[in-house]
Chains A and B, each alone.
Chain A
Amino acid sequence: QQQVKQSPQSLIVQKGGISIINCAYENTAFDYFPWYQQFPGKGPALLIAIRPDVSEKKEGRFTISFNKSAKQFSLHIMDSQPGDSATYFCAVPAGTASKLTFGTGTRLQVTL
């Protein structure tokens, strides 16, 4: 069964700093690697995703870096803001495109 290892478990970053969350996976037959953001009381929301025909994808302050040979991908949040305080999950398709295996989550707190 696919395992997805996400680190760190929690992260405290000052406003304006860079938040970095890492994810490692075992195997997948599908080239799609999303990150989800979840606020308390809400379901996860797709934040950004990458298909590894590129090694990096940037959307605003959010960047995914992908290392296919190492089977790792990471989320970088530049200029972190208090509104970014949430739990972040990486996910990897497991067996089929529609079945996602999620990482254990990273609780990010951005302080003033």
Chain B
Amino acid sequence: KAGVTQTPRYLIKTRGQQVTLSCSPISGHRSVSWYQQTPGQGLQFLFEYFSETQRNKGNFPGRFSGRQFSNSRSEMNVSTLELGDSALYLCASSFGGENYGYTFGSGTRLTVV
């Protein structure tokens, strides 16, 4: 079966711009989580959506936001980009509830110049 699909794979943006990243979860998965991965801070939780509702949120500024659609696909948006937002953004999906089996996509590599 198809895995978690993230688009685009690579992005280059300029400081001050905004960006939208997309994630298509595994069919049947209702939970989608987003993580930021950087060499300095490692893997950090951004937020989780379940059945179109944000269920959990990490410690990131309000410039980072997301949403989930009725088909479980999710998008995350970063506004007013800063150089420090350069990172690999990972999406992970699971059935949700007490199922812990999160499957990650290959990520979107965002570079802010």
Chain A positions near chain B (C-beta within 8 angstroms): 1, 32, 34, 36, 41-46, 49, 89, 93-105
Q: Which residues of B contact A96 (CB under 8 A)?
A: 48, 55-56
**Are B45's CB and A105's CB within 8 A?**
no
**Are A45's CB and B104's CB within 8 A?**
yes
Contact count A vs B, C-beta below 8 Å: 58
Give residues 56-113 of B contacting A (CB, 8 Å).
56, 58-59, 90, 92, 94, 96, 98, 100-107
Q: List 19 A-B contacts (CB under 8 A).
A: A32-B100, A34-B100, A36-B104, A42-B107, A43-B104, A43-B105, A45-B104, A46-B101, A46-B102, A89-B42, A89-B43, A96-B55, A97-B98, A97-B100, A98-B48, A99-B33, A99-B45, A99-B48, A102-B42
A69 to B101, alpha carbons, bound, how many Å?
Answer: 25
Minimum CB–CB distance for B92 against chain A, Å: 8
Chain B contact surface mostly: strand
Chain B positions near chain A (C-beta within 8 angstroms): 4, 31, 33, 42-45, 48, 50, 55-56, 58-59, 90, 92, 94, 96, 98, 100-107
**Are B90's CB and A98's CB within 8 A?**
no
Q: Which residue on chain B has the smallest CB distance to residue A49?
A: B100
Q: Which residues of B contact A49 (CB under 8 A)?
A: 100
Q: Which residue on chain B has the smallest CB distance to residue A104?
A: B42
Q: Which residues of A contact B104 (CB under 8 A)?
A: 36, 43-45
Minimum CB–CB distance for B34 against chain A, Å: 11
Other-chain contact of B56, A36, A89, A95, A105 (Cβ < 8 Å): A95
A89 to B55, alpha carbons, bound, how many Å?
Answer: 24
Q: Which residues of A contact B59 (CB under 8 A)?
A: 1
Q: Which residues of B contact A93 (CB under 8 A)?
A: 100
Minimum CB–CB distance for B96 against chain A, Å: 7
A36 to B104, alpha carbons, bound, how many Å?
Answer: 10
A54 to B4, alpha carbons, bound, how many Å?
Answer: 31
Q: Which residue on chain B has the smallest CB distance to residue A100?
A: B45
